[in-house]
Structure 1
Amino acid sequence: MEISGYIALAVMGITLGLVGAGGSILTIPILVYLLQVPITLATSYSLVVVGSTAFIGLLRYRDHILFRKAILFLIPSALGVFAARRFIVPTLSNILGHLLLGQVLVILLIIFMGIAGYFMIKRPILDIQNHSHKKQNIKKSKVVLIGLALGIIMGLLGAGGGFLIIPTLVLLMHFAMREAVATSLFIIAINSFIGFVTNQSQFIASDWGNLKKYLTPSLLGMLIGLYIVKFINGEILKKSFGYFIWVVGIAILTKEFIL
């Protein structure tokens, strides 16, 4: 089971390198169900794995990152991550207890996976932009609210949320697709670092050892994905992966709440 977990982390990295979003949502299921990590700890591990993998990816696309325009989304999302890791998770732990908190996180994960699958299966973002959103004047407050909400979710689950960041940057902030992918990886890397720093003091020696083992296959996968991306039809892969996320989400729902 452990070997299959490492293989799955490598596949997650490959997917993130190929598609630029969506792969990180599977990090929690991999850690919890294949590597037997408790879900509350898995959210912390995931921040490190996802953030490091995104950082490797953004090195390739660094020339396309729009740093100044990204601030409008980055600041509220970073605040959301910090608030979730510093205040919400500890508060829920005290109110719900460790077991119930795990169940709440599983429910949020299933919901988030359903949304992720939808955004990966739906028609290309660029088509939507060109037909219905290109001339819209969207208020900045919407971007701020989306950033804050996504940051809180990322802080709770440790998932990057690139499948929601990219549509926001393209449809609401008028980024080109390549710029959106690059800037999304930048935002994910920064938010992951903030989430990790917020509660890294809770890590013990064994946690650092585990992180090294989990990071290696995911980073290797990212490098492989970045290399082979030019040989593969990204849209077909994106839709296929969206359906796969739904299948995994249904499997988790069945295991946790039906069987």
Structure 2
Amino acid sequence: METIEIFGYLGALMVGLVLGLMGSGGSLIAIPIFTYLFHISPITTTAYSLFVVGTSSTIGAFRNWEKGLVDFRIAIVFAIPAFIAVYVVRKYILPIIPIEIITIEDFMVTKDMAIMVFLALTMLLCSLSMLRKRKALSDHSQINRYNYPLILLQGILIGLFTGVVGIGGGFLIIPTLVLLVKLPMKKAVATSLFIIALKSLIGFMGDVGNLEINWDFLIGFTVVSTLGIFLGIYLSSFIKGEKLKTYFGWLLLVLSVGIIYKEVFT
């Protein structure tokens, strides 16, 4: 195994570790690993990311279900429109986008470049949000407000976003569950993992048939990532969430700048 592949599989462990610790963020790391360490095209990369994050999240969701932390009513209402949206995007919309989107003089914007830059901008915004000093999301115990139309709308929007970029979207789901539905933080993280698992795997099903899947590689990467999520769930009892959020924010900032430089200026 080449040295760069070893770093790639260490990255797979980190993907699961981040998911286990934070309930989100794993796919933001997975996509650059697939693209730049394993040299997989961005379209295939986003599909692989959905599978890895979906499978790893399923393991974590099951562990949280055993602890009684998953709010299934909210998860189902949120997940149904989300996974319909992500499936439609992966199955029908992405395949019809041309490989060469636009050419301005000697500069060509391709589908692969657009996806990676969109991902990088997402990572940049996410990192700035994490690094910004602000009042933490409340871990309160108010009675849940089941505003179903709003939950459905949020599910559709996050599903569309997930379909294009190939990420789980937990960093969007968790604030939605805490601020709009009034779930306590631990329940929001656990429910987010369940939602991510459902919509990521169904989104991946939209790619089956459109892409050639290297199942041996994908399953191996997923196994390593799954080990990481068990480690993350265990370590979550010992690591302060605010400090972890800051470290992860800096990591995303560095990765986002690197991706933009690689895609636009080289």
TM-score (norm 1): 0.89
Q: Which among 11, 26, 29 is matched to residue 29 of structure 2?
A: 26
Q: Secondary structure at the match of 1:126?
A: coil
Shift of 1:10: 0.6
| CA pair 94-34 structure 1, distance change in 2 beyond 3 A | closer
Equivalence for 2:111: 101
Equivalence for 1:53: 56
Which AA in structure 1 matches 2:130? M
Structure 2 distance, partners of 1:110, 1:244, is 12
Q: Which among 51, 59, 83 is matched to residue 78 of structure 1?
A: 83
Q: Which among 4, 10, 35 is matched to residue 13 of structure 2?
A: 10
Map Cα deviations across residues 172-220 of structure 1 (whole Å, 9 max, x no partner). 111111111111001000001111222212454x611121221122111
Shift of 1:94: 6.7
Structure 1 distance, partners of 2:99, 2:33, is 26
Q: Which among 141, 153, 165 is matched to residue 173 of structure 2?
A: 165
| CA pair 253-114 structure 1, distance change in 2 beyond 3 A | same
Structure 2 distance, partners of 1:124, 1:218, is 31
Shift of 1:70: 2.4
Percentage identity across paired residues of the two chains: 38
Matched ranges for 1:127-142 at <5 A: 127=138, 140-142=148-150
Shift of 1:9: 1.3
| Residues paired across the two proteins, number | 253
Structure 2 distance, partners of 1:46, 1:70, is 21
2:131 is aligned with 1:121: yes
| CA pair 121-76 structure 1, distance change in 2 beyond 3 A | farther
2:242 is aligned with 1:235: yes
Equivalence for 1:219: 226
Q: Which among 15, 37, 40 is matched to residue 37 of structure 1?
A: 40
Q: Secondary structure at the match of 1:199?
A: coil
Structure 1 distance, partners of 2:256, 2:146, is 33
Map Cα deviations across residues 211-239 of structure 1 (whole Å, 9 max, x no partner). 12211221111111112221211210112
Matched ranges for 1:173-184 at <5 A: 173-184=181-192
| CA pair 6-124 structure 1, distance change in 2 beyond 3 A | farther
| CA pair 119-141 structure 1, distance change in 2 beyond 3 A | farther
Q: Secondary structure at the match of 1:159?
A: coil
Structure 1 distance, partners of 2:257, 2:99, is 29
Q: Is the 8 A contact 2:49 2:166 kept in 1?
A: yes
Q: Is the 8 A contact 2:14 2:228 kept in 1?
A: yes
- Unaligned ranges ≥5, structure 1: none
Structure 2 distance, partners of 1:93, 1:142, is 34
Q: Which among 119, 143, 146 is matched to residue 151 of structure 2?
A: 143
More helix as a share of residues: 1
- Is the deviation greater in 48-57 or in 226-235? 226-235
Equivalence for 2:196: 188
Which AA in structure 1 matches 2:256? G
Shift of 1:66: 0.9
Shift of 1:126: 2.6
Structure 2 distance, partners of 1:88, 1:119, is 30
Q: Secondary structure at the match of 2:97?
A: helix
Structure 2 distance, partners of 1:17, 1:90, is 32
Shift of 1:140: 4.4
Structure 2 distance, partners of 1:248, 1:95, is 25
Shift of 1:82: 1.2
